[in-house]
Chains A and B, each alone.
Chain A
């Protein structure tokens, strides 16, 4: 069988397999993502109001403190195995908020702990967060250098 033929074969097979998938429920998925994502942002807003009015933080410190608390919440829920269940219900609503970032760090850390503290826990910790930091630093520094010359 030639390479091109095999590719067509694979394509046909994949199309055949997908024909048995349950149809994606776009509206339902989007509504759930909206609901859960909005709720997580509301928890963040709640922390924001409390820290602003009761503790007196403002500006960058305020957003950093809120981020830290939400990340703690995200890693805790991941540890208890609750976040995966939220993820199954909410899809992107649980991925996009900062708690999803925390989950993407904590989840492989817990899972690969058995492979050792260095090449298991510490290395696999950045399996999803690594790309975010890499491209974030690249893009952020590019913005900084552009502003330097403007």
Chain B
């Protein structure tokens, strides 16, 4: 039992270190280039797609768990992974695979954002 707790703690340390490092790389890029948030997100998502296309991001996911899947590069990993798995089933799968694997995230973002927009008012005026 003691060892299980130690393993879980070690998982947290790995997630913290890898996730934090990815965010820190993004911060370094922002500090030196003036890229806006949208461009950073696109760049990191594309980095995830390319790394998984080369088969490398999987190692990071196996090592760090949420530390690799929670940053936006994990979204790119999900897209590429879905496309690779779909490609085994043929042309149709190769085209539909990417979005179908990311559908949970996109649907959740759209649905929850819509609900929040209905419920909440813009806070910008109160500052």
Instruction: Type the 1/0 row for B93-127, where 1 means its CB is closer than 8 Å to any CB of A.
Output: 11101110110111011101111111111111010
Q: CB distance A136 to B27 under 8 Å?
A: no
Residues of A within 8 A of B (CB): 24, 26, 29-30, 32-42, 44-49, 60, 63-68, 70-72, 75-76, 78-81, 84, 90-93, 95-98, 100-102, 104-106, 109-111, 113-114, 121-122, 125, 127-129, 131-133, 135-137, 139-141, 143-148
Across the two chains, which residue of chain B brings its CB closest to A65? B104
Q: CB distance A41 to B50 under 8 Å?
A: no
Q: Report B-chain residues with C-beta under 8 Å of the C-beta of A63.
A: 69, 74, 78
CA distance A52 to B62 in the complex (A): 15
Q: CB distance B76 to A128 under 8 Å?
A: no
CA distance A140 to B74 in the complex (A): 13
Q: Report A-chain residues with C-beta under 8 Å of the C-beta of B40.
A: 92, 95-96
Residues of B within 8 A of A (CB): 8, 11-12, 15-24, 26-31, 37-38, 40-42, 44-46, 49-50, 52-53, 64-67, 69-76, 78-80, 82-84, 86-88, 90-91, 93-95, 97-99, 101-102, 104-106, 108-110, 112-124, 126
CA distance A112 to B12 in the complex (A): 38
Across the two chains, which residue of chain B brings its CB closest to A90? B23
Q: CB distance B98 to A39 under 8 Å?
A: no
Checking B75, B79, B90, B122 against A98 with a beta-carbon cut-off of 8 angstroms, the contacting residue is: B75
Q: How far is the CB of B52 from chain A (nearest CB, A)?
A: 7
* Given A140-B83, A143-B80, A143-B84, residue A135 in contact with residue B45 (CB < 8 A): yes
Across the two chains, which residue of chain B brings its CB closest to A25? B31
Q: CB distance B94 to A136 under 8 Å?
A: no
Q: Report A-chain residues with C-beta under 8 Å of the C-beta of B23.
A: 33-34, 36-38, 90, 92-93, 96-97
Q: CB distance B50 to A98 under 8 Å?
A: no
CA distance A144 to B107 in the complex (A): 22
Q: Report B-chain residues with C-beta under 8 Å of the C-beta of A97.
A: 19, 23, 70-72
Q: What 6 pairs across the A-B complex have the smallest Cβ distances?
A: A37-B23, A41-B19, A140-B98, A38-B20, A144-B83, A44-B66
Q: CB distance B117 to A144 under 8 Å?
A: no
Q: Report A-chain residues with C-beta under 8 Å of the C-beta of B24.
A: 30, 33-34, 37, 92-93
